[in-house]
Structure 1
Amino acid sequence: MIFTTAFNSYSQNTKNPLLSEDIELQQKWVDSIYGSMTLSEKVGQLYMVQVMSNQDEANKEKISQIIKDYCIGGIIYSNGGPYRQAKLNNELQELSKVPMLVGMDAEWGLSMRLDSTYAFPWNMTLGAIKDNKLIEQTGRQIGEHCKRLGVHFNFAPVVDINTNPLNPIIGNRSFGEGRENVTNKALAFMNGMQSAGVLANAKHFPGHGDTDQDSHKTLPTINFTEKRIDSVELYPYKKLIKEGLSSVMVAHLNVPSLESKPGYPSSLSKYIVTDILKERLDFQGLIFTDALTMKGASDFSETGAIDLAAFMAGNDVMLMSEDVGLGISKITNAYNNGEISEERLALSVKKVLQAKYKVGLHNYQPIQLENLSQDLNRLKDDALYEVLMESAITIVKNENDILPLRQLETKSIAYVELGDDSGSTFFNELKKYAKVHAISADSLSQLKGKLQPYNTVIVGFHRSNDNPWKSYKFSEAEIDWIEEISKTHTIILDVFVKPYALAELKSIDNIASIVISYQNSEIAQQKSAQIVFGALPSQGRLPVSIGDHFLMYSGISTNALKRLSYTIPERAGMSSEKLKKIDSIANYAVKKKMTPGIQLLIARSGKVIYNKNFGKHTYEGKEEVGFDDIYDVASLTKILATLPLTMELEEQGIISLDSKLSELLLEYGDSNKANITVKEMLSHYARLRPWEPFYYKTLDSITKKPDAKYYRSSRSDAFEVEVARNLFLRTDYQDSIPEIIKDSELLSKLKYRYSDFPYYILKKFIEEHYDRTLEQLVQSHFYESLGANYTMYNPYHNISSKKIVPTEIDDYYRNQKVHGYVHDMGAAMQGGIGGHAGVFSNANDVAKIMQMYLQKGYYGGKRYLKPETIDKFNTCYYCESDNRRGIGFDKPQLGDAGPTCGCISMTSFGHSGFTGTYAWADPEEEIVYIFLANRTYPNAGKNLLLRENIRTEIQRLIYEAIEE
């Protein structure tokens, strides 16, 4: 049979990819081994037998006997675990006269076959990435894993061009449907893997991408012309062969245009294997059959005969023969009968031996078992996986630029989970950015009713990520639900499956935005949520077309909005190993009862790289600290609430740093504080007293309990200031506190002295200026748009007490557990809304505000404050007077003692709180550090956190963890 019309001559005078740099030594070794073998042993080198490390002893013994009896050339590992495989491999290699080649299907990593090993994204996901250097790095790291486990051949990359969406066996295993994209990705993957010393294998020749049948179960037919196959299916092979591809796997396919025998598998076709692959494509590397036990081949001929037919067709290695002994006998007899020449046998056997030399089997070393698990699951693998998903996730529709989500204060967001797998990681990540409620329903009508309060609905479609063959389609009901709710709501549809799922939708007209996240891994879910909210840009491009909806290479780029993202330390130049020391200190603090619990967060360069919780809400309770639990942040309120509002007013020219109190509040005109300026006051350089126990004057002089003259157990117009549960202060006492402050004596000497009074004074001015409460102002000006939805005054009004960490068992004023109410007595007497205290928050929200400061007043696509304003307030104006403070912000110590570790830049700023809280930002290292605790529970007592420098010691370790 002759096919010449459609095929050009592909000969590139390619170099044998199996040759080593030391060709002479290699050839000497190959000739020596070949010359020492019997005919049967030579033929045995043509076989690679399947082994599973989780097999029973009987099967293990069977494989051992095959190795000893037939001198097989290699083994291909399948199911099992890495340690078991390594141990078994060492045992089996000891049995072999010539060390065996070890192969594996590790297309997306060893986890394709083994438990407890790393899974990189599938090829379809990688196909969405524009930067092929990332694909090369993926091949490199998979190669490193293979090599560590003693694997010499990885049967990857798949170079099938998946032009058929219904393909049941390739699909996600393909880089896509574009021949250029598939070729470039495969080449990058090949180069990366072979640079690690592991030989690549392109499969499934001549092309398994455009079929709707599975060759494991039947013999699929490829019904295309020679010209089409040449221009599409063979395109990747041409380039990879030219660039040094080590091996090719030939598929079991029926290709009528290339093989005239009806139903004759491509793996047995001399024309396909020899004439096209070896001669026209000039391929000199190893040629493997696909598994000979697959139905596409095994149904064709009698046992053993197929092995001979495959070898006669031009294959070098018979993969997973049904009967190795019978196959070897058939080939040996053919050799003895003159059907196979010595030259033909030597060609294949010596290629096998060349491959063995190239991968180092001439100097075989057993696999080291020590640290195997750690070496196969590295931080660098996590880092790469994150980058890959960030680069792959694709926005294919984005009406009115809804993504990334902005103006969070205008959004009421619901999350609807579809599919049969978990989307909890996605939902939890969404909640880091905004208030998002999960909505579930049993019927469409129920769903529509529950969604009425929301104007934005994020629909996550989650199906199993176990392997690329799992079902990816919507149910009919899910299709109807999406169509109906998209008519009445702004819908963001995020699919965590392969793109073809979207082809099932009846219409996408009403869907505002569509995101393809490709896989349902935890990292895919995290990164997709970060892209939705603009913590990361979107970069991906569709590797396939989707019905009539989207063309191949579609994709909408979006820019990041400078919101915090979440990643591992190494991606921000930090060491995970060194940061583990922080765990020890935090656990020590909890164990020694310095505080019942801790929330701890570290961010660098806009990336949260450490976010952990320790301990419980209380020593006696069972409630462990959670990420969405909130703490009374005490004096952090100063920089989280009062200061940003003050900075706004200064920008607007309403006040200046030189404004005097007599100019802000008329009643100060005749006071001893009339000429104190904002700058002096907020620098704690104004002779103001540190604080005043306002509550003390409202206690009964004898019982020391709240005096009935001032308090009631129930609310009324005359007693409406709620200071604690069932305890209400006289309404008119609100006027007394400012009067006491105004009339208070000044300190005798001007020096740095920390005081709460400035924040009482500013609170009064700000509220009078706007005629709104401080709580209302800071929510509408900052928290709502920042997505700081866990930050609030008086949380008992808004959230479950189970999410609020108690602060103290008060036996001196309120005589109850302070839980959900502000700890600070002065703030409590202002209805929980103080300028100096009263805010509750979690570490994540506090970090957002500190990051906004660090980014010179910009966050989430919005400018809150001007850079010059941040600089103006983050300045120490009285350093020469031994006063380290900025305007509102605390600053690093000037001498030996102070609020930081002493290892931090002088441009850094932050604050600490009486309850054990601490927030600090360093512009030079771009670090934000948040420490929240309730060290005051059950009583304030001795501040052991401060005494043992727990917070600043952790800060020191943060800086030690910076990698040079």
Structure 2
Amino acid sequence: MKNNNLAKKVGKLLVVGFDGLEVPKHIRELIHDYHIGGIILFGRNIGTPREILALTTDLQQEAKNAGYTYPLLICVDQENGVVRRLGKGTTIFPGAMTLGATEDPNQAYDIGFASGKELRALGINWNLAPVLDVNNNPDNPVIGVRSFGESPDKVAQFGQAAMKGMQDAGVITTLKHFPGHGDTDVDSHLDLPVISHDRNRLDKVELYPFQKSIEAGADTVMSAHVYFPSIETDPGVPATLSEKVITGLLREELGFNGVVTTDCMEMNAISQGVGTEKGGVLAVKAGVDFVMVSHTFERQVGTIKEIIAAVERGEINENMINQANERINTLQAKYVKWDDISLDNNSPIPTLVGSKEHEELAFEVYKKGVTIVKNENILPIHVKNDDRILVIYPDNGTTMQVEDKRYANLALGEAVKEYHQNVDVYQISQKLSQEELESIGKKAQDYGVIILGTLTITAGSKQIQLAEKLVESGKTFIVIAMRSPYDLAYLPNVHAYLNTYEFSYPALKVAAGAIFGKEQVSGKLPVTISSIK
């Protein structure tokens, strides 16, 4: 290698991902040859707690063998709710909008702290959360319930509380997606969104939670692949690649001196624009520290080589690389030290992971977050043992690229069965035929109570026609919105309507309990629902 020292300084700027539950050869090579700074884990890397700890321990052992001064940073998107990576054997914690619905930032702190403790116990030292996007656009396809709500002040309060909870648990946090991804109707995984608001509006809404959380001691900030023409004058340049956004706005105006990371550079907004490798060069020039290339080995190596070449030809001043390394070193010195890491593959899993204590905490918070939005003397229902209940819900639990399809198996029927024995469950497709609609309408006549679970209704959705058909049946009819709170806008004639904000089993169980009067729920809507004309 022509300049081994430069290669490792540039390598330190890379956060990379891979497939599988074990460390592949090419990742070991990246650790030894380039001293990559971080690893990102996805659902594809997550097994049992024992398997997760074995994986993170192996990664750290490899880094130790390669002569790292500090341990690897190992990160994950554990936002909780609809975006979570940890699975069986760990606690299911409520997500951002459920927390927002509690109206108590202390709940966000407690969940952040407990989540951080479980992550840290499994060898994950960096969480890509909290989301500080203000979700003021009901049509947003990528943020939605990942946000604490539509109020900048609420997002700021809850974001700070969640951040502090994770930090106190010893986990690095990430404010995302700067300068704000809440008011878009395009998913940056698929294309380049544009937010055209003027600077005055951005200061009051999008930037406000970031500013407050930076003042409260943020660790890292993740850039959004979103174009802001009121900040970046060059057409079509996303925030991630914009010096005016990263250096001018984030560092100089807002005074953030910590680590800036990109979102994944293989998302379409970058990879199908300037390209992942060239994008890495532009991101570093803009002032970011970590370039995230989450999937493809060729693109990971290619990005490192492109940045090295840009330094060697003078396009990037090597001092920028040095400064980025210093910021990363400062972060590592604060949170990760070799003395704090066990490299013993046989270390026991701490008992707090998936503990009864954490499960009870989460359940209590779900009760404070699940929301009865509408109740025209329907709830709680009173049924006899032989009264029949029909539960209907659609398949296909995910709508966002960032969601984990492993958790898309909805269990509303099972949740209802915990409270009543005479329950039939009917799962429908998102593309209901007219014959199926008519059939369900007839089927409904055989039941005293019908519970419909909805999943992010949009204009023209068959779920709307189904709900109208069930209202016409004259039966006791209840809707549980299992993700988007905005579903009610399409269902004005429904007599009872609850929001869980996520399809996590504990949330559905709490909602079912509320229907039968077995659980008291107290959530308040963190967004405004306007009727659809």
TM norm structure 2: 0.83
How far apart are 1:387 and its partner, in Å?
1.1
| Equivalent residue, structure 2, for 1:419 | 394
1: distance between equivalents of 2:116 and 2:186?
30
Equivalent of residue 106 in structure 1, options 73, 78, 82: 78
Measure the CA separation in 1 of the matches of 2:299 and 2:437. Answer: 57
Q: Which residue of 1 aligns with 2:449?
A: 457
In structure 2, the gaps of 5 or more residues are: 396-409, 428-434
> Are 2:521 and 1:538 aligned?
yes
Counterpart in 2 of 1:596? none
Alignment correspondent of 1:574:
none
Cα distance in 2 for residues equivalent to 1:104 and 1:254 = 25
Distance 1:64 1:359 in 2: 23
Mapped to 1, the partners of 2:441 and 2:189 lie a distance apart of: 45
Q: Deviations over 1:832-863 (max 9, x none)?
A: xxxxxxxxxxxxxxxxxxxxxxxxxxxxxxxx
Deviates more, 1:356-365 or 1:278-287: 356-365
1:283 aligns with 2:260: no
Which residues in structure 2 correspond to 1:259-298 (within 5 Å)? 259-298=232-271
For the 8 Å contact 1:496–1:520, the answer to whether it is kept is yes
Partner of 2:191: 218
Shift of 1:163: 1.9
Offset at 1:472? 5.6
Deviation at 1:206, TM superposition (A): 0.9
Q: Deviations over 1:539-595 (max 9, x none)?
A: 111122223279xxxxxxxxxxxxxxxxxxxxxxxxxxxxxxxxxxxxxxxxxxxxx
Give percent identity, aligned residues only.
34
Q: Alignment length, in residue pairs?
A: 494
- Give the Cα separation in 2 of the matches to 1:414 and 1:474: 28
Quick one: distance in 2 between partners of 1:109 and 1:90?
Answer: 27
Q: For the residues of structure 1 that align with 2:475 and 2:208, how far apart are their CA atoms?
A: 46
How many Å separate the matches in 2 of 1:253 and 1:138? 29
Distance of 2:150 and 2:142 partners within structure 1: 15
SS in 1 for 2:264: coil
Aligned CA-pair RMSD: 3.1
Pick one of 484, 497, 502 that aligns with 1:498.
Answer: 484
Cα distance in 2 for partners of 1:299, 1:169 equals 18
Worse overlay, 436-445 or 283-292: 436-445
For 1:20-419, list aligned pairs within 5 A: 38-54=5-21, 60-78=24-42, 79-80=44-45, 81=47, 82-96=49-63, 97-98=67-68, 99-108=71-80, 112-116=84-88, 117-301=90-274, 304-320=277-293, 323-336=299-312, 339-341=315-317, 343-363=319-339, 365-366=341-342, 369-372=346-349, 375-399=352-376, 401-405=377-381, 414-419=389-394
Are the equivalent residues in 2 in contact too, given 1:155–1:200 (CA < 8 A)?
A: yes
Distance 2:84 2:303 in 1: 29
The question of whether the paired residues in 2 share the 8 Å contact of 1:415 and 1:439 is answered with yes
Distance 2:276 2:418 in 1: 55
Counterpart amino acid of residue 229 in structure 2: P
Change (3 A) 1:419 1:329: closer
Report how far residue 133 of structure 1 moved: 1.2
Q: CA offset at residue 69 of structure 1?
A: 0.7
Per-residue deviation at 1:161?
1.4
Decide whether aligned partners of structure 1 residues 479 and 335 sit closer, same or farther in structure 2, where only a CA change above 3 A counts. Answer: closer
Shift of 1:254: 1.8
User: What is the CA distance between 1:302 and its match in structure 2?
Assistant: 5.1
The change in CA–CA distance for 1:150 and 1:414 in structure 2 (over 3 A counts) is: closer
- Structure scoring higher RCO (CA < 8 A, sep ≥ 6) equals 2
| 1:415 and 1:437 in contact (8 A); partners too | yes
Number of the residue aligned with 2:406: none
Identify if the C-alpha distance between structure 1 residues 84 and 237 changes in structure 2 by more than 3 Å, giving closer, same or farther.
same
Q: Aligned pair in 2 of structure 1 residues 248, 440: CA closer, same or farther (>3 Å)?
A: closer
- Which sits farther off after the overlay, 156-165 or 417-426? 417-426
What corresponds to 1:642 in structure 2?
A: none
User: Deviation of residue 240 (structure 1)?
Assistant: 0.3
Cα distance, 1:444–1:333 mapped onto 2, change above 3 Å? closer
Residues 280/525 of structure 1: CA separation in 2 closer, same or farther (3 Å cut): same
How many Å separate the matches in 2 of 1:403 and 1:130?
Answer: 23
Q: Which amino acid aligns with 1:216?
A: H
Cα distance, 1:392–1:549 mapped onto 2, change above 3 Å: farther
Distance 1:361 1:417, change over 3 A: same
Spell out, residue by residue over 1:913-958, the C-alpha distance to the aligned partner (whole angstroms, 9 max, x if none): xxxxxxxxxxxxxxxxxxxxxxxxxxxxxxxxxxxxxxxxxxxxxx
CA distance in structure 2 between the aligned counterparts of 1:48 and 1:416, rounded to whole angstroms: 44
* C-alpha deviation, 1:101, in angstroms: 1.6
Equivalent residue of 1:520, what SS?
A: coil
Tell me if 1:548 matches 2:523.
no
Distance of 1:114 and 1:125 partners within structure 2: 18
Decide whether aligned partners of structure 1 residues 92 and 461 sit closer, same or farther in structure 2, where only a CA change above 3 A counts.
closer
Which secondary structure state, in structure 2, belongs to the residue aligned with residue 68 of structure 1?
helix
Residue 17 of structure 2 aligns to a residue whose secondary structure is strand
Q: 1:269 to 1:450 in 2, by over 3 A?
A: closer
Moved more, 269-278 or 74-83: 74-83
* C-alpha separation in 1, matches of 2:134 and 2:358: 27
Structure-2 separation of matches of 1:549 and 1:176: 20
| Gap change, CA 1:439 and 1:141, over 3 Å in 2 | closer
What whole-Å deviation, never above 9, does each CA across 1:109-138 have from its counterpart, x for those lacking one? Answer: 898334434332232222211222111111
Aligned 1:330-729 pairs, distance under 5 A: 330-336=306-312, 339-341=315-317, 343-363=319-339, 365-366=341-342, 369-372=346-349, 375-399=352-376, 401-405=377-381, 414-420=389-395, 421-431=410-420, 438=424, 457-461=449-453, 476-487=461-472, 488-505=474-491, 507-508=492-493, 511-548=494-531
* CA deviation after TM superposition for structure 1 residue 207, in Å: 0.9
CA 1:352/1:437 → structure 2, altered by over 3 Å: closer, same or farther? closer
Once residues 130 and 11 of structure 2 are traced to their aligned partners in structure 1, the CA distance between those partners, rounded to angstroms, is: 26
Q: Is the 8 A contact 1:157 1:203 kept in 2?
A: yes
The residue identity in structure 2 corresponding to 1:288 is T
Three-state SS of the structure 2 residue aligned to 1:51 is: coil
1:493 alignment partner, SS class: strand
Distance 1:412 1:114, change over 3 A: closer
Aligned amino acid, residue 364 of structure 2: V
Question: How far did residue 236 of structure 1 move?
Answer: 0.7
What secondary structure sits across from 2:132 in the alignment? coil
